[in-house]
A and B are shown apart, each in its own frame.
Chain A
Amino acid sequence: MAQYYGIRPGSQPHTLSVLVENRPGVLARVTGLFARRSFNIDSLSVSSTERPDISRITVTAYADPDPLEQIIKQLNKLLHVLKIVELDPDQAVERELVLIKVKANERTRSDVLEIVKLFRVRVVDVHPETLTIEATGAQGKLDALMGLLAPFGVVELVRSGAVAVTRGPKALSEKVPGTEIGEFMNR
């Protein structure tokens, strides 16, 4: 069995939602695991959730089925990990926020603004030489936007990493029993 954990042509994008106990050092364990198992991730975002005792980590990665299965199993072995779900792209809403600082002088500014309007994104800062654009959306939309802005010259770019929820009325945390973490911070 090939044990190549890198991204190869043909690898599929995957989104993992990882529910963890909201405890000191959990993120270090999770990211350390990716590093130790030489698993390349595309983006990772972490935040608190509707439950104060649970944090949610969203990981996107291009991976083949075998390494992906192995990394999910290894994640499951971490004691602070409560639940891991791979989100089906058709059954989930995924969003990412990007801030792009793009070159725009008096000659090119209106062209850039035209693109901003087309994509229904916002300008959040203007300077005689640049425009800073805030864009939110699914991966595809942001990639298209950045593709169109690239010719003008991108000065700076930062992405938040994807966040995602499943469609419909259910929450992932419903499957996690009460964890009574509040009282015990030392773990």
Chain B
Amino acid sequence: MASPTPLQAFSSIPKETEPRNGENSVAPGEPMTGAQALIRSLEDLGVSVVFGLPGGQILPAFDAITPETKFRFVLTRQEQAAGQAAEGYALSTGRVGVCLVTSGPGATNMVTPIAEATMDSVPLVIITGQVAADAIGTDAFQESDIMGITYPIVKHSYLVTNAQDIPRVLTEAYYIAQSGRPGPVLIDLTKTAQTQSMQYSWPQKMILPGYKPTTKAHGHMLQDAAELLTTAQRPLLYAGGGAARAQASRQLTQLAQLINAPVVTTLAARGVIADGDEHTLGMPGMHGSVAANGAIQACDVLVAIGARFDDRVTGDLEHFAPHAKVVHIDIDPAEIGKNRRVDVPIVGDVAQVLDDLNEEIPQVRERVESADLAPWWRRIHDWQSAYPTSYESAPNGQIEPQWAVQEIARLAAPDSIWVTGVGQHQMWASQFIDFERPSSFISSCGLATMGYGLPAAIGSAVGAADTHPVWLIDGDGGFQVSSEELATARQEGLPLKIAILNNSAYGMIRQWQDLFYNGHHSQTDLGDGDEDSASETSATNSHAAAAKDNRTHAVPDFVKLAQAYDCVGLRASSKEETTAAIEQALAINDRPVLIDLRVWKDAKVWPMVPPGASNSEIIYQPGITPLADQSEQR
């Protein structure tokens, strides 16, 4: 065995790509090419769906996909959509999402989904084609250094130059993606490795000396946490995406009941505890409920459960939960203490830790007097009754988008999976739909990518495999980012229900322009919803005047767009039409249905914590700041 070259750490590819074990000693196994080994490895890992798009440098791998291949291949129209579909699949099923794309532009199109998967801790394995090993570094046709490009956003990555390594690398990548804090793992697969011969054997031994995720809490941390919670007068559970990833729904609900504590669920954790549960206060943070934010600002013990104190939740960190002792449960040690000092740090798998904590609490109760939570709940109920989720009425009988969301939720099957894009509609979906099951709300939370909705809905529908209807609630802006995927949805025969809350604008940006930029609607008017939107554009310059002539009708016509993809397109401009359209959509089950809902343009997302402000400064409706005196109160 040759010793490695000194300072391999510097270079990006190994100095030699030939098998290091001499030409005579052949590894035992079944002879095949690297490309065949890739497909076999995916089958042996139990992968049932792969998303992607073929291309030049990944051709051998695609050639190895045959009618006998055991997984379903979902062909999307753009690599970014393949990545997002894989995310939707992973989030709805709890399994690893797998993508297979080509080199160069195919690989760079995966950057956004990889960044999303890192932000939202989604288990993904991304296999990208790469030019031949001896062409690396020569700026060859369709070469991009995707390893280098993605270093900051992957959980881990591999450059494979040797076919013999493929089964082991796949085994490791699959394990890394779903264990510990889930995340994206990139495998950059050179054409050399795809075409080389190798000896296939399974299972493979993993070699990961530097990777040992902690799952169980150690020491007296559980005791400390249990004591804090038992004696707390104003406890609060703050559940984040980690609770969803750990599938800790049962444990979280049990804990809430055990100590009778209120729970707030972040955008990534909606549904982890049922919204119908009396302990649930809804979403905290920038667009959270008054009760959720009031409880955060007033609590004396805050238990963060797979949550990372994201700035959208905390508002001004200095004034976040000012009176609280913090228990932080997370599988990623780096999250603990990153943004907020922690009194009881617990590193471990959320489900495992909560199970242990739920056992610990009754034992502590035998020794320690439990606090009386009645005054705490009285305060919370006061907030809930005084400041329920509500919305402003639209003028002249236009559709309020919030009402439309509620109407869809009222008519849709209770076991539906809800997928959203990013923007106002996303917040309204979170606020106005009651999620009763975990994994029933799928959204791009951390990176917040417009265009995420349709691909993620496709992935969810593929994962849900006819067991749950999938509803996509999207905006007119975001839908246009990835509308080409209607082709994928149609060809895969997915009966998606798509509701576009069409306000003819980039609504969330427009809302900020109204609130913080004196109503200067710079470049947020889309002209795809209201026929006379041209009047929005003040004709102060000749460009605008010229544009005005072209703005007499909506572009695109979403109904025709749906029809062009052989989907059903419906439109609604009044509440009656909306109800009728939803009912019509529910009756169609052989193809996607798109409803273009022409909603009131000036609807805003309330409540809102202004950017940079403390959660205590939450604005319930314009002019109403119910928690403004919170900071003085204890």
Contacts and interface: CB of A to CB of B under 8 A. Distances in A.
A77 B332 contact: yes
Contacts of B210: 20-21, 78-82
Nearest to B318: A1
B20 A183 contact: yes
Interface string B1-40: 1111011111111101000110000000000000000000
A76 to B, nearest CB: 7
A131 to B, nearest CB: 32
A168 interface: no
A186 B338 contact: no
B9 A186 contact: no
Contacts of A47: 6-7
B207 A77 contact: no
A187 B169 contact: yes
Nearest to A178: B209
Interface string A34-77: 00100000000011100011010100000000100110011011
Contact of A23 (B1, B9, B341): B9
B4 A186 contact: no
A114 interface: no
Given A22-B4, A25-B11, A1 B341 contact: yes
Given A24-B11, A32-B152, A47-B7, A1 B207 contact: no
A181 interface: yes
A3 B317 CA distance: 11
B339 A79 contact: no
Interface stretch (B157-165, B297-305, B402-410, B427-435): B157-165
Given A1-B341, A70-B338, A79 B208 contact: yes
B59 interface: no
Interface string A144-187: 00000000000000000000000000000000110111111111
A186 B333 contact: no
B169 A26 contact: no
A27 interface: yes
B151 A28 contact: yes
B261 to A, nearest CB: 25
A29 interface: yes
Contacts of B3: 52, 182
Contacts of A24: 8-9, 11-14, 159
Contacts of A55: 7-9
Contact of B340 (A1, A23, A36, A57): A1
Nearest to B336: A73
Interface string B310-337: 0000000100000000000000111001
Nearest to A55: B9
A20 B9 contact: yes
A28 B152 contact: no
Nearest to B161: A186
Contacts of B209: 21, 82, 176-177, 179
Contact of B10 (A3, A46, A53, A69): A46
Interface in B530-562: none
A52 B1 CA distance: 12
B586 interface: no
A79 B156 contact: yes
Contacts of A177: 209
Nearest to A53: B4
Contacts of B12: 24-25, 28
| Range for the number of chain A residues in contact with chain B | 35 or more
Nearest to A47: B7
Contacts of B364: none
Nearest to B163: A186
Interface string A3-35: 100000000000000001111111111001100
Contact of A46 (B7, B211, B317): B7
Contacts of B10: 27, 46
A59 to B, nearest CB: 13
B397 interface: no
B519 to A, nearest CB: 33
A52 B165 CA distance: 21
Contact of A186 (B159, B211, B340): B159
B412 to A, nearest CB: 40
B9 A22 contact: yes
B204 to A, nearest CB: 11
B613 to A, nearest CB: 18
B468 interface: no
Nearest to A81: B210
Given A185-B20, A186-B158, A187-B158, A25 B147 contact: yes
Contacts of B333: 73, 76
B216 interface: no
A76 B334 contact: yes
Contacts of B334: 70, 73-74, 76-77
A177 B208 CA distance: 11
Interface in B384-410: none
Contacts of B70: none
A26 B210 CA distance: 12
Most buried by A among B2, B10, B165, B209: B209
A49 to B, nearest CB: 10
Interface string B140-175: 000000011001100010111110010011000000
Contacts of A78: 210
A51 to B, nearest CB: 10
Given A181-B4, A182-B1, A36 B152 contact: yes
Contacts of B337: 1, 66, 69-70
B151 A184 contact: no
B103 to A, nearest CB: 17
Given A32-B152, A52-B3, A1 B159 contact: no
Contacts of A81: 210
A183 B1 contact: yes
B8 A1 contact: no
Nearest to B11: A24
B312 to A, nearest CB: 16
B176 interface: yes
Nearest to A37: B152
A35 to B, nearest CB: 8
A46 B156 CA distance: 21
A46 B11 CA distance: 13
A23 B3 CA distance: 12
B7 A183 contact: no
A177 B156 CA distance: 21
A25 B1 CA distance: 22
A105 B169 CA distance: 62
B1 A185 contact: no
A180 B168 CA distance: 14
Given A1-B339, A53-B4, A181-B4, 8 more contacts: A1-B317, A24-B13, A28-B148, A48-B7, A76-B333, A177-B209, A185-B20, A186-B158
Interface of B: 1-4, 6-14, 16, 20-21, 147-148, 151-152, 156, 158-162, 165, 168-169, 176, 207-211, 317, 332-334, 337-341
28 contacts: A3-B339, A22-B4, A22-B9, A24-B9, A25-B159, A26-B9, A29-B151, A32-B152, A47-B6, A48-B6, A55-B8, A70-B334, A70-B337, A70-B338, A77-B332, A77-B334, A176-B209, A180-B207, A181-B4, A182-B1, A182-B20, A184-B165, A184-B168, A186-B14, A186-B158, A186-B159, A186-B161, A187-B169
